[in-house]
Structure 1
Amino acid sequence: MNKRRCVGILGGTFDPPHWGHLRLAEHFSRLLQLDQIIWLPTGQSWQKEGVTSAQARLAMSEYAVETLHDLFLDHHIYTKIEISTLEMDRQGPSYTIDTVKELRALYGPETSLSFLMGEDSWAHLHTWNDWHQLTDYVHLAIASRPGKHPEAPATGLLANKMASDPTLLQSAPSGSVWLDRELQIDLASSDLRPALAKTTWNDAVYDGIPPQVLEYIEQHDLYRNG
């Protein structure tokens, strides 16, 4: 019996991309035996103000993906990585439900599609446009953060979708939610931006952001004017 094709979708504003994104991609590549990861920068963010330009976020994403390629090679992970401008090319606000519908049509009905996210996104999932339809098209794989956090509203609302084992996300095209407790990375772009705005960067900046991304930020003087 042939293995079902498994694809992970890592979406976000990536403003900026950081090691948390890369470690999340590495973790779920192993856990879900992903054949491919789609790195998907948001186009027009409808829930966030003052987002860095799409051009800059795409350029930073390209450097981040280069780093991720090297990380995968070093760790003998053979998941392919592709940057998609699907949301950036679309007119109007970037709604994840529209994106997963397009990706489902592109990859067909049998491919396992898993939307990868951190616990901060999971906490606000219930505010997304038509969020309750997402599991009709994809699985949801959530990486938790250290410490105690209030239960996300979606946890109760999607209780019947919660998977007892991550292999369930490999064996079906969509429909399951896996809340992972293993990764535990406490890193967010919203915490890094204030540090990047300062004249002198602290260790959190250098430890949190891949060097090539940081070099691009410095060259283009991003965040210090924001």
Structure 2
Amino acid sequence: MSDHLDNSSNPIRKRKSIGILGGTFDPPHWGHLRLAEHFSRVLQLDHIIWMPAGQPWQKGTDITPAKDRLAMSEYAIETLHDLFVDHHIYTKIEISTLEMAREGPSYAIDTAKEIRALYGSEASITWLMGQDSWENLKTWHQWPELPKYVHLAVASRPQAVIDSEKLASMAGVFAEQQTQDPQLLQLNPNGHVLFDQNLQINLASSQLRDAFIRGSWDEIADAIPPLVLEYIESKGLYRNK
């Protein structure tokens, strides 16, 4: 795609487009990768920042050590890079340790402010999330402030697994900012909430940790990229949780 429209008197340059994929990644799974791939296309992202949480304040202390979650993320990114090459997607991918380096609880609003300061006021910055995160948004620290710094892009879940009560409670949240037009996110730096119905993800890291305990190897093999799974096996993760 051209960097500017064909208007010699007033060229309009393409706004730099950044996606933030934050999470505990305990462990990372194909749902995370498919979400990154999908929104890279839909939002024409120049750059995806994979952001493992440091001390997720809602998760308590029973999470895998940061060094292991970072290593698993690195293997997931390697797989995602290969996926992008195969599908001719030119979005740059990088892991950020911004939240891991932050002392104390890890809040999305602080990350949004720091990423906005890093990329400036004109870049389009979008926080990418699944519907489970959207349904819990009201529990996030200073959640009403997020659209001041970023867009939100939400991938739906299959209708059969949607929590209708939680969904109903979120119906009016950011009502004026909600859209199904991805171009609004591309053309503006922040302030919109995109609901995407074309990608439906029904994977959760908590369910996969339980699957390790149950020994549900078919479920695990289908859900976790092979390089990530090899690391988990080599370190004996999720055996005694």
TM-score > 0.5 by shorter chain: yes
Paired with 1:185 and 1:90, the residues of 2 have a C-alpha distance of 30
1:170 aligns with 2:170: no
In the TM superposition, what is the alpha-carbon distance from 1:143 to its structure 2 partner?
0.3
Which one of the candidate residues 185, 188, 202 is aligned to 2:204? 188
Does 2:82 correspond to 1:70?
yes
State how far apart, in whole Å, the 2-side matches of 1:44 and 1:145 are: 26
Shift of 1:201: 3.8
List per-residue Cα deviations over 1:34-72 (Å, max 9, x = no partner).
000000000001101311111100000000000000000
1:101-123 Cα distance to aligned partner (Å, 9 max, x none):
00000000000000000000000
**1:224 matches 2:235:** no
Which of 84, 96, 99 is matched with 1:87 structurally?
99
Contact 1:124 1:152 (8 Å CA) reproduced:
no
Tell me the TM-score normalized by structure 2: 0.91
The separation in 2 between residues aligned to 1:154 and 1:9, in whole angstroms, is 22
Q: Which amino acid aligns with 2:233?
A: E
Deviates more, 1:144-153 or 1:80-89: 144-153
Q: Equivalent residue for 2:220?
A: 205
Asked if 1:149 corresponds to 2:163, the answer is yes
Count of residue pairs brought into register by the alignment: 225
CA offset digits 1:75-110 (Å, max 9, x no partner): 000000010000000000000000000000000000
**Distance in 2 between the 1:175 and 1:132 partners?**
11
1:32-111 aligned within 5 A: 32-49=43-60, 50-111=62-123
Q: Which runs of 5+ in 1 are unaligned?
A: none
Moved more, 184-193 or 37-46: 184-193
| SS of alignment partner, residue 179 of structure 2 | coil
Match of 2:135 among 116, 123, 134: 123
**Residues 183-209 of structure 1: per-residue CA shift (max 9 Å, x gap):** 0121111111111123x4421100000
Shift of 1:225: 1.5
Q: Write the distance in 2 (CA, Å) between the matches of 1:39 and 1:157.
A: 26
Decide which structure has the larger Cα Rg and report it: 2
Q: State the one-letter code of the partner of 1:213.
A: V
1-structure distance, mates of 2:104, 2:173: 28
Secondary structure class of the residue paired with 2:182 = coil
Following the alignment from structure 2 to structure 1, what is the Cα–Cα distance between the partners of residues 135 and 31?
Answer: 17
How many Å separate the matches in 2 of 1:2 and 1:34? 15
Q: Which residue of 1 aligns with 2:27?
A: 16
Cα distance change on mapping 1:16 and 1:152 into 2, 3 Å: farther
The percent identity for this pair of structures is: 64
The offset of 1:22, in angstroms, is 0.2
Q: Distance in 1 between matches of 2:87 and 2:199?
A: 16
Report the TM-score, using the length of structure 1 for normalisation. Answer: 0.97
Unmatched 5+ stretches in structure 2 = 1-11
How far did 1:152 drift?
Answer: 5.2
